[in-house]
Chain A
């Protein structure tokens, strides 16, 4: 039962870890490629061998600055690193190099669209760089866990929101927005299932009108947008139930169980969370020159919000259509390339949101692996516009294009699918149909208007669907009027 009602207010803050798509690691020259054999991409620095030292990857600075600009935040210079001390087998140094006092990005915001269409501004407290940990594998080893440090040292940027999110659906909107931005900026592939984007939710509740924040819990292990929503809703309800029955919320970290749709507390000693942060002595403060930041500003790609507005304005699309098309950069690019050829933005938008996405989803392909190119789709739509084929026939052509990878013109020619647009030809077909259906003609002329559809159908059948529907309509009408 959903307890979120007028009595209670939800306060949510999200911490999103984004894996940056660099070639090499944050502090070492080992590869970051996914899927390598265990510990084949863990060099001496990643393994925390005695005597090793970190050296900073310049690309992560560019990526972080891009993100900061996209989040309307301040870029801190100098920005410096700190050691976050804790023991865990996937953290080989016994500390993680992270950022504490002067994170590279600070004080930004993100505008999200709520369900009712209004815009809400969510503050972004900070975004800082840190290194990822390795992985523990628990199966296959009796009573043991196997540690793979390939992932150790991969660069992460942790984006921390202000606790200004008020519902699970807002949280998802925020998360989707971040997802869109990082893909647009090409700094991460943002794949939650694979772990290149991870979300932890800090959730608390309070009685509506109460000033003080309630005790919050941190929920981890949510690896999809859907699970984020479910996990938050579960946790909110759980907290309300506890408080309503007179209990108190324990400040703790909880794990989301997607099977059972519950959260349960992680066991850990309270004072063990003393990370004893101190400035990283092996790294010097990073100075980001104004020139460096300015050059990145110039190179910034158009962001989702800008693109959406441009689509609405320039292509005269609806807010909804613009929103959908601009959410994914690849999709937006596909659309624009297709429109260049087809010159019909509305029709192209419909085709992409309809047939195109349907085929992609059916075959479970990303846009980059589409069987039909944007140019080809654009050409197909032009053929509808110039009446070479009807919209209905175009659907068949599209299917054949997907299967065969042939272009629309080739298929139309091969299958003889060109529309029949010659009035005389249509007229003669219509005459033939009328001649062959005297009973229906009589019935129509005595008042059964809906038989018009029958005649249209017969003409289309006779023409194998190729007769231009509008012309059929017009000529049939005039013929039947007699």
Chain B
């Protein structure tokens, strides 16, 4: 299996990472190498095998519906690249709300 330019472009967009076109060939080669590892998986017989999402065979604990966190806005925004009036600023978002 080999990545096409189009596929690489799409994955890069999904991951929101800009890749210079000139780096495509090298990157594709590196990724193809790693992807070739995946072929080994096809050799395994996994019929009737349950997927393992967690090493723990336990159930989710819960917490009480209580407010435990206080307002620490100043501290939490201490590392923000761009803040105004308590809001994080980003270049204007054009689309309607999700």
Contacts and interface: CB of A to CB of B under 8 A. Distances in A.
Q: Do chains A and B touch in the complex (CB under 8 A)?
A: yes
Interface of A: 22-24, 28-31, 37-45, 47, 49, 55-61, 78, 80, 85, 87-91, 133, 135-138, 140-141, 143-149, 220-221, 255, 266-269, 271-272, 274, 276, 279, 281, 283-287
A141 B84 contact: yes
Nearest to B79: A49
Interface of B: 10, 13-14, 16, 53-54, 56, 58-69, 71-73, 76-77, 82, 84-98
B59 A286 contact: yes
B87 A58 contact: no
A23 B68 CA distance: 10
Q: Is the interface of B mostly helix, strand, loop or mixed?
A: loop
A149 B73 CA distance: 11
21 contacts: A23-B67, A24-B65, A28-B69, A39-B77, A39-B86, A42-B76, A45-B69, A61-B62, A89-B90, A90-B98, A136-B93, A140-B85, A143-B91, A143-B92, A145-B90, A145-B93, A272-B14, A279-B53, A284-B56, A286-B60, A286-B62
Contacts of B14: 85, 271-272, 274, 276
Given A42-B73, A137-B87, 5 more contacts: A29-B63, A147-B88, A267-B95, A272-B14, A284-B54
Contacts of A90: 97-98
Contacts of A286: 59-60, 62
A267 B93 CA distance: 12
A78 B73 CA distance: 37
B61 A41 contact: no
A43 B69 contact: yes
Contacts of B87: 38-39, 137, 141, 146-148
Nearest to B63: A55
Contact of A285 (B59, B86, B95): B59
A149 B72 CA distance: 13
B65 A59 contact: yes
A23 to B, nearest CB: 5
Contacts of A37: 73, 86
B93 to A, nearest CB: 4
A88 B69 CA distance: 25
Contacts of A43: 69, 72, 76
Nearest to A134: B88
B29 to A, nearest CB: 24
A285 B60 contact: yes
